[in-house]
Chain A
Amino acid sequence: MSAKKPRLAVWKFASCDGCQLSLLDCEDELLAIAEAIDIAYFPEAMRAGVRGAYDVSLVEGSVTTPHDAQRIQDVRRRSKILITIGACATAGGIQALRNFRDVREFASIVYAHPAYIDTLATSTAIADHVKVDFELRGCPISKAQLVDVVASLLAGRKPATPAHSTCIECKIAGNVCVMVAHGTPCLGPVTHAGCGALCPSYDRGCYGCYGPKETPNAPSLSSRLAELGMDAGAIARVYSTFNSNAEAFRQESERHGAQNDQD
């Protein structure tokens, strides 16, 4: 049986390491996962070099350097199934805020010698570079969804990651709507499910870290946010955080003026 175990690799691009940490945060499941799957390449957790092909690759992070744009091609060639994990890999992440600004200016704010920094003008999703077989949303991803994706691969079924809105999860959780009851601005109506409606459960509005749901109606939500007192700049910013380069959020942010507007 052990000869037949699928080989798994975990790859990092520009990211905070949080989504791959989710795998190590599966305290109850980790050793069982390691029984069922050959974790063959996972530099955050083990010393081992890249060798041959992998049945499944989990890819964290976005493409932000010329070197990484090449590297993702190699990862794709080595991988039968490629799954992106998290907002960086599926939408460019928070570092995609550079896409709306001059990256050389950004580099000069942070570094004494911007010329030493070899970076692309944009931070882009993995799917902008290679074919992606499955995308797991979230900043960070949900541990439960990660375990489900791994289990579904082993069972040969489709992962259960519904594309409906956070609002649906709020109803399932039995939360009182923070926007209706308290007038708290909330991105729940346009945000992809997966977190279990976490923020409304803690008396705050959703801030969209799972990115857009399927067929979101962001302009309609924005009208409501404006009625609740948010000005155009605040509305532009609320769509412009961890999934700023996801199409529906990017469009809605741009409709309300410059992203992350600075003097």
Chain B
Amino acid sequence: MARRTIKTDYLARVEGEGGLKVVVRDGAVKSAELSIFEPPRFFEAFLRGRAGMEVSDIVARICGICPVAYQMSAVHALENALGVTIDGPIRDLRRLLYCGEWIESHTLHVHMLHAPDFLGFSGSIDMARVHGDEVRRGLEIKKAGNEILRLLGGREIHPINVRIGGFFRAPRKQEFAELAEKLKRARDLAAEVVRWVATFDFPERERDYQFVSLSHPAEYPFNEGRIVSNRGLDVAACDYDDHFVETHEKRSTALRSHMRDGSTYLVGPLARYALNFEKLSPIARDAAKHAGLGPVCRNPYRSIVVRAVETLYAIDEALRIIDAYEAPERSFVDLEWRAGAGYAATEAPRGLLYHRYTMSDEGTILDAQIVPPTSQNQACIEEDLQNYAGAFLDLPDEQLRHRCEQTVRNYDPCISCATHFLRLDMDRA
């Protein structure tokens, strides 16, 4: 068998439409391609001409799984253009909303999209027939995350309460009381999940990744921080384009990012964890330690453990915020529109999400650039396939295909997000 082609035409258990193709020749992986055929929707084009106030509702629709990430990067970038910084309880509420999305999105991925790969099921519904308690536990944690989104955001998908300057309505302290009880229980359950996923059978595969994430002096990053890497990068969001570049290839409706020097990099849980381990709360650090994770994890198959640790952290952090919360007098700060450019990066569950906008003096959007995490991870995913698939070549085709799919799902790729982003002047083809 000199040539063998492993193809998955429609990759399951990811958000959006994509496929993969691995070509093996003479016992070695010759090429590995992730193709994305999600139809383009042209957000960056129709954002032009919209009012600044409309942006956070519009960009939420890029992704039904992580709408808060899009809303947060958008409001921070627009506020950056207006020279406004949000502090106090409104800042805390934004962080709380992000906790809700991390809990919901990570728990979805851990239990419904990724765990079936390790336990040999096609999805969580057939997995529930054998591992019913574990699936129900996951659903309960996911529900607690969704309740944060519902109470504070109005609904789980495309929350309506976020606006530039803050929120339309800030909840009163006592509205959080019942939620806090559910979160306390979810925190215990999330600690069990870390122990559970740590028992899975992981292929021993590691690479020396270039990790990129936000870093904040006082906290595990959600909304704020500088963009740093384990190779010495340390820049503000406004300098993003000086260091990162996107290209467009024929096989994909999504764009791919590289560093300007051509190197690939990884964003998301593994990167955040490696670059911010010390900022995790004690309970999350302890759970990581008992799960056998060091302060750095370079095995992408173990990303499920890191996601479980981050879920535990997000619940713990949500409880801390709720405990300290005092409702603000006003739920948003007033803003004056003016011409300018604004930049922001925040940490979507899947990794760094960069937004840049330029506005007219009335606050009309003139230009928008959005770089989602999956575009940034695409090159890294293909390198993983190229590097790791070799070790699985003695498997029959169906099992090999499954291993390759699992290698892609390590990244929790969100193909709906990744599609349709590129700036014209970034063409290097």
Contact residues of A with B, CB < 8 Å?
12-22, 24-25, 27-28, 30-31, 34, 39, 42-48, 64-65, 68, 93-95, 97-98, 101, 103, 105-113, 116-117, 119, 123, 139-140, 143, 195, 198-199, 201-204, 207, 209, 234, 237, 241-242, 260-263
- Beta-carbon contact of B54 and A46 below 8 Å: no
Of B140-148, B297-305, B311-319, the one contacting chain A is B140-148
Q: Among B39-47, B236-244, B345-353, B376-384, which stretch is in contact with chain A?
A: B39-47
A199 to B250 CA separation, bound complex (whole angstroms) = 42
Q: Which residues of A contact B143 (CB under 8 A)?
A: 27-28
- B248 and A116 form a contact (CB under 8 A): yes
Query: How far, in whole Å, are A81 and B242 apart by their CA atoms in the complex?
Result: 52
**Which residues of B are found within 8 Å of A116, using beta-carbon distances?**
248-250
Cβ A46 vs Cβ B156 within 8 A? no
Interface check B333, CB cutoff 8 A:
no
Is B253 part of the binding interface, using a Cβ–Cβ cutoff of 8 Å? yes
With A18-B158, A203-B168 as contacts: A34 and B248 at CB distance below 8 Å: no
Bound CA span A68–B37, Å: 11
Minimal beta-carbon separation of A102 from chain B (angstroms): 10
Q: Is the CB of A110 within 8 A of B168?
A: no
Which residues of B, 117-134, contact A by the 8 Å Cβ criterion?
A: 122-126, 128, 132
Q: Which of B1-25 contact A (CB under 8 A)?
A: 10-17
Residue B80 at the A interface, CB < 8 A? no
Beyond A107-B40, A202-B154, whether A17 also contacts B61 by CB under 8 A is: no
Can you report 16 residue pairs joining A to B where beta carbons are below 8 Å apart? Answer: A17-B63, A19-B157, A21-B65, A27-B142, A28-B143, A45-B113, A47-B13, A93-B61, A107-B40, A107-B42, A112-B247, A112-B422, A202-B161, A202-B168, A203-B168, A260-B46
List A contacts of B421 (CB < 8 A). Answer: 110
Q: Cβ of A34: which chain B residues have Cβ within 8 Å of it?
A: 125, 128
* A117 and B40 contact, Cβ closer than 8 Å, known pairs A241-B54, A241-B58: yes
Question: What's the Cα separation between A93 and B40 when bound, in Å?
Answer: 13
Q: Which residues of B contact A25 (CB under 8 A)?
A: 142, 146, 156-157
The verdict on A27 contacting B10 (CB below 8 Å), with A13-B39, A16-B61, A198-B160 known, is no
Inter-subunit contact B424/A199 (CB<8 Å): no
- Contact partner of A117 (CB less than 8 A), chosen from B64, B135, B253, is B253
Q: What string of 1s and 0s marks CB contacts (under 8 Å) between B323-335 and chain A?
A: 0000000010000
Chain B residues within 8 Å of A204, by CB:
160-161, 163, 168-169
Q: A48-B12, A48-B122, A139-B158 are in contact. Are A111 and B58 (CB under 8 A)?
A: no
Residue B51, interface by CB 8 Å: yes
Q: Which 6 A-B pairs have the closest CB atoms?
A: A18-B64, A46-B123, A112-B427, A262-B49, A106-B45, A95-B41
> Which chain B residues (26-58) contact chain A, with CB distance < 8 Å?
38-46, 48-51, 54, 57-58
Chain B residues contacting A44 (CB-CB under 8 Å) are 12-15
A98 to B46, CA, bound (A): 8
Other A-B pairs beyond A19-B157, A237-B50, 4, CB < 8 Å: A17-B16, A19-B64, A42-B123, A198-B155
A106 touches B161 (CB 8 A): no
Does the CB pair B416–A112 fall under 8 Å?
A: no
B41 adjacent to A139 (CB under 8 Å): no
Residue with the highest number of chain A CB atoms closer than 10 Å, among B12, B136, B255: B12
B113 contacts across to A, CB distance below 8 A: 45
With contacts A119-B40, A209-B158 taken as known, whether A109 is within 8 angstroms of B57 at the C-beta atoms is no
A101–B46 alpha-carbon span in the complex (Å): 9
- A31-B128, A44-B14 known; A241 and B57 CB under 8 Å? yes
- For residue B114, CB closer than 8 A to chain A, the reply is no
- C-alpha gap A108/B248 in the complex (Å): 12
With A17-B15, A140-B158 as contacts: A234 and B169 at CB distance below 8 Å: no
- Name the A residues within 8 Å of B40 (CB-CB): 64, 107, 110-111, 117, 119
Give complex CA distance A109, B154 in Å.
33
> B residues within 8 A CB of A18?
61, 63-65, 67, 157-158
- B39 proximity list for chain A (CB < 8 A): 13-14, 64-65, 68, 119
Most central of A109, A123, A237 by chain B CB within 10 Å: A109
Contacts A25-B156, A94-B46, A241-B58 hold; do A47 and B122 have CB atoms under 8 A apart?
A: yes
CB distance from B138 to the nearest CB of A (A): 9
In the bound complex, CA of A18 to CA of B331 (Å): 27
Whether B49 lies near A260 (C-beta < 8 A) is yes
Contact, CB under 8 Å: B124 / A45: yes
Residue of A at shortest CB range from B425?
Answer: A112
Closest to A123 in B: B41
* Cβ contact within 8 Å between B15 and A198: no
User: In the docked arrangement, what's the CA distance between A202 and B113, Å?
Assistant: 33
* A45–B45 CB distance below 8 A: no
In the assembled complex, which residues on chain A have CB atoms less than 8 Å from the CB atom of B331? 203
Known: A17-B416, A25-B146, A119-B39. A110 touches B45 (CB 8 A): yes
Asked if B404 lies at the interface with its beta carbon under 8 angstroms from chain A, I say no
Kindly report which residue of chain B lies nearest to residue A100, judged by CB atoms. B46
Contact present for A22 and B157 (CB under 8 Å)? yes
